[in-house]
Amino acid sequence: MKDSATGITEFIANLEKQNPHEPEFRQAVTEVIHDLIPFIAANPRYQNKMLLERLSEPDRIITFRISWMDDAGNIRINRGYRVQNCNAIGPYKGGIRFHPSVNLSILKFLAFEQTLKNSLTGLPMGGAKGGADFDPKGKSDAEVMRFCQSMILELWRYIGPDTDVPAGDIGVGGREVGYMFGQYKRLSNSFTGTFTGKGVDFGGSLGRTEATGYGAVYILSEVLIQNKEDIAGKRVLISGSGNVAVYAAEKAVQMGAIVTTLSDSGGFIYDKNGFNAEKLACIKQLKFTERSRIEKYCDHFDAEFHAGKKPWSIPAEIALPCATQNEIQVVDARTLVDNGCKYLVEGANMPTAIDAISLLLASRVHFVPGKAANAGGVAVSGLEMTQNSLRLVWSAREVDIKLHDIMRGIHQKCARHGSEADGFINYSKGANIAGFIKVADAMLALGVV
């Protein structure tokens, strides 16, 4: 048996050879194997089964052309994808992203992360991700509808309630899921739980909209309890102003935190007095209803707008990156630590670069990775699937209690597998190992398939 350091070097060399143009995918896998290769070396049951090689080669990748017509009558072409990474523990499950930056590297990283995240929820869901390099900004509702319908005209044959269940992600919210589900329902001539994040009038779960942001704050409060601290009165930086960011802010404010920043791709706003329910209602109006820019917040309230900047230079005890991948580089991590940040909880997927994570852990910042911290969204998606299968509707309170339990369970799993000798919890390591064990045990039981 090779030593772990050699195993890691060889694995990374092969990963680069197999995926030369996919830096985000290699980053996500590299971050995980640093914990899993030593874990496998210490656990003979998982040795010589090629489990990591199998997990980092998607089961299937579907890519297709999406042709649609804009309001001016021009024909437009985009590229659509679905990456079905692993269905060892349940049907493929994961969101769909619409953003001009979407490419195979990004969707493969997201599908890989989703596999471990879904495992951590304890629910029977495999890992997948899809999307298109379509930019919804500036498009009319009719254009978005035609785009969604054209996408599903191709994708519908590869998805289904027991096969693959998509949902939202960046650029895909209730409006887009509604249009995609409408087209899927028409083509399949069936009303099933094939999408989650649906409107509550047609099969959606109460609490799904809020679940990712609320769930991230629930796990943050578990981490604080672990350290005998309280969220009330703590200053919190949040990036993004989309689904995850706004509901993370809402829950943090409800629990007494002072949330001072939010952002979008144009820059960040700093409200030194902290947001409250009225101010967050203004953000929701600007970003969700008007689909406008966050800087307009400063027309309504006393706040600063920092164009083209990220919020990490503002002093705070807690940071919740909730926008996109790699938004915290090593210089940002250094600034956060120097300004007294002690907790970093990832609402987004892979917002922190690998060397920035190393710096945070070396500085003893309590770092919770996205695959644990943002799992509340897909967890409530899992609950939506259950309600659809049962043809039942659970109350918002029932869903919230279940979400809270799931996030507490994820915290416990990370603590079990990530505790160090001095009591510090390496949540990253804990999440990677706990997420892996369930998938790996299923893969061993299912044979070489």
Give the one entry of ligand 2IT, ligand NDP, none that residue 94 binds, where binding means its C-beta sits below a cut-off of 5 to 8 angstroms depending on kind: ligand 2IT
264 binds ligand NDP (CB under 6 A): yes
Between residue 378 and residue 397, which ones bind ligand 2IT under the rule CB under 6 A?
Answer: 378, 381
Q: Rule CB under 6 A: choose which of 52, 280, 323, 344 binds ligand NDP.
A: 323
Q: Rule CB under 6 A: choose which of 36, 152, 155, 170 binds ligand NDP.
A: 170
Which residues lie below 8 Å from residue 63, measured CB to CB, with a gap of 6+?
79, 80, 81, 104
Clarify whether 279 is annotated catalytic.
no
Angle subtended at Cα 248 by Cα 309 and Cα 169, rounded to the nearest 5 degrees: 80
Q: Rule CB under 6 A: choose which of 149, 205, 260, 349 binds ligand 2IT.
A: 349
Which residues lie below 8 Å from residue 353, measured CB to CB, with a gap of 6+?
27, 326, 328, 329, 330
Distance in angstroms (rounded) separating the CA atoms of residues 112 and 115: 5
176 binds ligand 2IT (CB under 6 A): no
Please identify the residue of the shown chain whose CB is closest to the bound ligand NDP: 242
Nearer to ligand 2IT, 46 or 98 (CB): 98
Distance in angstroms (rounded) separating the CA atoms of residues 425 and 374: 18
Task: Give the residue from 375, 399, 371 showing the smallest Cα distance to 215.
Answer: 375
Identify whether the C-beta of residue 379 lies closer than 8 Å to the C-beta of residue 215. Answer: yes
Distance of CA 364 to the CA centre of its chain: 24
Return the structure tokens found at 78. 């985009």
Distance in angstroms (rounded) separating the CA atoms of residues 117 and 382: 12
Distance in angstroms (rounded) separating the CA atoms of residues 78 and 140: 17
Nearer to ligand NDP, 52 or 211 (CB): 211
Q: Rule CB under 6 A: choose which of 119, 183, 241, 352 binds ligand NDP.
A: 241
196 binds ligand 2IT (CB under 6 A): yes
Residues binding ligand 2IT: what is the number (CB under 6 A)? 13
Which residues lie below 8 Å from residue 139, measured CB to CB, with a gap of 6+?
70, 147
Q: Rule CB under 6 A: choose which of 169, 250, 271, 295 binds ligand NDP.
A: 169
Give the one entry of ligand NDP, ligand 2IT, none that residue 87 binds, where binding means its C-beta sits below a cut-off of 5 to 8 angstroms depending on kind: none
Distance of CA 394 to the CA centre of its chain: 24
Nearer to ligand NDP, 115 or 443 (CB): 115
Q: Alpha helix locations (H) across 313-426?
A: 330-338, 354-362, 370-373, 375-390, 396-418
22 binds ligand NDP (CB under 6 A): no
Bridge-based pairing state of the strands 92-98 and 127-132:
parallel
243 binds ligand NDP (CB under 6 A): yes
Q: Out of 108, 117, 129, 287, which one is annotated catalytic?
A: 129
User: How would you class 188 by CB atoms within 10 Å of its CB: exposed for 0-12, middle for 13-18, buried for 19 or more?
Assistant: middle
Q: Which stretch binds ligand NDP (CB under 6 A): 50-58, 164-172, 389-397, 402-410?
A: 164-172
User: How would you class 3 by CB atoms within 10 Å of its CB: exposed for 0-12, middle for 13-18, buried for 19 or more?
Assistant: exposed
332 binds ligand NDP (CB under 6 A): no
Q: Rule CB under 6 A: choose which of 80, 136, 215, 377 binds ligand 2IT.
A: 377
Between residue 205 and residue 224, which ones bind ligand NDP under the rule CB under 6 A?
Answer: 212
Nearer to ligand 2IT, 7 or 370 (CB): 370
Residues contributing to the site for ligand NDP (CB under 6 A): 168-171, 173, 212, 240-245, 264-266, 322-324, 347-349, 374, 377
Residues known to be catalytic? 129
Q: Which residues bind ligand 2IT (CB under 6 A)?
A: 93-95, 114, 117, 167, 169, 196, 349, 374, 377-378, 381
